[in-house]
Structure 1
Amino acid sequence: MISTSSDSGRVSDAPSDNWVYRVLPRGIWPYAQLARWDRPIGWQLLLWPCLWSAALAANVAAAAGSFDWARLVGHLLLFFLGAVAMRGAGCTYNDLVDHDIDQAVARTRSRPLPSGRVTRRQAKIFMGLQALVGLAVLLQFNLFTIGLGIASLVIVAVYPFAKRFTDWPQFFLGMAFSWGALMGWAAEFASLSLAPVALYVGAIAWTIGYDTIYAHQDKEDDALIGVRSTARLFGERTRQWLVGLYGLTVALMTLSFWLAGVGILAWLGLAAAALMFAWQIRTLDIDDPVQCLALFKFNHVVGFAIFLALVLALFFA
């Protein structure tokens, strides 16, 4: 059982055996918690659209005879570093914006800012350092990709405020978290086409779906303090909405794969993802917070399955 007191140095919604608490000095823990290093699912879900897009572009390049494994691996590594850094910076920014809200929600009041283990000034400095790492990564790409990455900051800046003015904050999260579906393609071709755009919109639908499941953990607290979400909007109709959202994800990814001309193995990966979506919808109990968190995290497996299939398809391109 994780203590929720500030003396424990832990937060109530992070695993007690995470590497952060076994490896890092205790004084670093609050910063690791701000960046969510103790909860890797966030950067993982941010990373998958990047990797999908990079692998999709690689399939197109392979068909044209211009594929380079070293270039793909280099892009994947840069996207990994960028996802960890920018997710950390984004979470720190989000905690700064949501300081008062986090104090009112049981699951979040033990986080570094509301618990007083980090000052706002310290959090801002840490956010800036993470953003600089993200910028250093971004500058390794072509100019088109650099501009595209900078453009995403507008959405990132708006997202923490969305829950205050719309029932669809998950849509804004989807736009931010899915941006990598454009970046991977742009890194390869220094341009965009309909294939990555379809992938991007499909990833937005995916994000709305899995984050709605996640938001059901906080719906009672959210209702008390007036925070809006698709979990509260959909309510008992969440399963029907997920059918539409996950169905749209599969439909748009099908379009993207068809436009890119991927091989049979990639299609098998998408079929596996569709089955996993169906399983989530059938299994979901919106009144079981533990299960909601588990199903949310399961989307990491969905992302991996799609990416792995796209990479395997390269061997038969």
Structure 2
Amino acid sequence: MSPAAPRSRLSLYLDLIRWDRPAGWLLLLWPTLASLWIAADGWPGWHLLAVFTLGTILMRSAGCCVNDVADRDFDKHVKRTANRPVTSGAVSVKEALLLGAGLALLAFGLVLTTNATTIMLSFAALAVALVYPYAKRVVAMPQAVLGVAFSFGIPMAFSASLGGTSFSLEALNAAVPLSAWALLVANLFWVLAYDTEYAMVDRDDDIRIGIKTSALTLGRFDVIGVMAFYLIYLAAWTWLGLRFGLGKYFIAGVVVAAAQVAWHYSLIRERSREGCFKAFRQNHWLGFAVFVGTVVDLALR
């Protein structure tokens, strides 16, 4: 049998940014867009929709580059990640960082079309995204850091919608109300839920190589913890949605999301790798249900 032909650079780069696995950027997209609709009190306009959709995809892709560079010495000991382009040596560290920087610059170019306050928030979002890959070395629940990174589109959506004409705390407080930060905190618990499911897949490998994860920190209470995180997320998001004036269609979306949580319990209760990974990969539908409920409610009231 002849050896496989070497892969093209484009193919390797697409693999590096997980182009064939859109679930990652969809998990960021739905709460960001739901917040965009809430902040705009309905249709946000094509400009902001394009900025936040494309920006989400670009920043998630850039994050993959940074994450794979940071984790390359760990990933080679995990069967699921051993063949990632940076870990296997098919893509150099320099290439990965340059690609990540280029994607982040494209995303920043989109942010520049918004306003000063949103630009200011983008630097904070970038800082959290860069810190996360290293958090698992020192933080017992690094998924909480990921939760902040994955939720930062929420205050940015409010800032871009409500305006902010200066790089000042006064402009930030005017454009991003406390309720928007509360949505970020609520969404953090959803990230804790699905990324703990993800961590449950690699539990044995993570113990062996010494990585800290929420699944290991929770121990035998991991399933209960995941369900508690889901409950806090849905309860808080519902309460905040009602405070924003959302009604029955929004509640219907939350109910659909809650039904999916019950299904996820059936997937993870035995802690099988296949079940936990499936629960993680299907989580974007939960966020989609809340987003659709939000959009329909704002459109029909």
With the length of structure 1 as denominator, give the TM-score of the two structures: 0.86
Q: Are the counterparts in 2 of residues 198 and 255 from structure 1 also a CA contact under 8 Å?
A: no
Q: Give the AA of the match of 2:149.
A: A
Q: Are the counterparts in 2 of residues 171 and 208 from structure 1 also a CA contact under 8 Å?
A: yes
Q: Is residue 2:256 matched to residue 1:283?
A: no
Q: Return the match for 2:232 from 248, 264, 277.
A: 248
Counterpart for residue 181 of structure 1: 154
List aligned pairs for 1:151-170, cutoff 5 A. Answer: 151-170=124-143
List aligned pairs for 1:31-70, cutoff 5 A. Answer: 31-59=13-41, 69=43
Q: Are the counterparts in 2 of residues 49 and 179 from structure 1 also a CA contact under 8 Å?
A: no
Q: Return the match for 1:86 from 53, 59, 63.
A: 59
- Cα 1:116/1:7, change in 2 over 3 Å: farther
Counterpart for residue 12 of structure 1: none
Q: Are the counterparts in 2 of residues 222 and 228 from structure 1 also a CA contact under 8 Å?
A: yes
Counterpart for residue 21 of structure 1: none
Counterpart for residue 92 of structure 2: 119
Counterpart for residue 133 of structure 1: 106
Counterpart for residue 71 of structure 2: 98
Q: Give the AA of the match of 1:270.
A: V
Q: Is residue 2:8 matched to residue 1:26?
A: yes
Counterpart for residue 220 of structure 2: 236
CA deviation vs aligned residue, 1:160-206 (integer Å, no higher than 9, x gap) = 11110122010011010011121222211131113222211111000
RMSD of aligned alpha carbons: 1.8
List aligned pairs for 1:186-205, cutoff 5 A. Answer: 186-190=159-163, 191-205=175-189
Unpaired segments ≥5 residues, structure 2: 164-174
Displacement of 1:285 in angstroms is 3.6
Displacement of 1:109 in angstroms is 1.1
Counterpart for residue 144 of structure 2: 171
Displacement of 1:127 in angstroms is 1.3
Displacement of 1:8 in angstroms is 7.5
Displacement of 1:237 in angstroms is 1.2
Q: Are the counterparts in 2 of residues 88 and 127 from structure 1 also a CA contact under 8 Å?
A: yes
Q: Give the AA of the match of 1:73.
A: W
CA distance in structure 2 between the aligned counterparts of 1:124 and 1:298, rounded to whole angstroms: 29
Aligned length: 288
More deviation, 279-288/79-88: 279-288
Displacement of 1:142 in angstroms is 1.5
Unpaired segments ≥5 residues, structure 1: 1-5, 10-24, 63-68
CA distance in structure 2 between the aligned counterparts of 1:58 and 1:265, rounded to whole angstroms: 18
Q: Are the counterparts in 1 of residues 223 and 269 from structure 2 also a CA contact under 8 Å?
A: no
Q: Are the counterparts in 2 of residues 216 and 286 from structure 1 also a CA contact under 8 Å?
A: no
SS at match of 1:36: coil
Displacement of 1:263 in angstroms is 2.8
Displacement of 1:286 in angstroms is 5.0
Q: Give the AA of the match of 1:154.
A: A
CA distance in structure 2 between the aligned counterparts of 1:27 and 1:166, rounded to whole angstroms: 35
Counterpart for residue 214 of structure 1: 198
Q: Are the counterparts in 2 of residues 209 and 245 from structure 1 also a CA contact under 8 Å?
A: yes
Counterpart for residue 293 of structure 2: 309
Counterpart for residue 109 of structure 1: 82
Percentage identity across paired residues of the two chains: 36
CA distance in structure 2 between the aligned counterparts of 1:127 and 1:192, rounded to whole angstroms: 28
Displacement of 1:275 in angstroms is 2.3
CA deviation vs aligned residue, 1:66-116 (integer Å, no higher than 9, x gap) = xxx4x4333222111111111111110111111111112111110111211
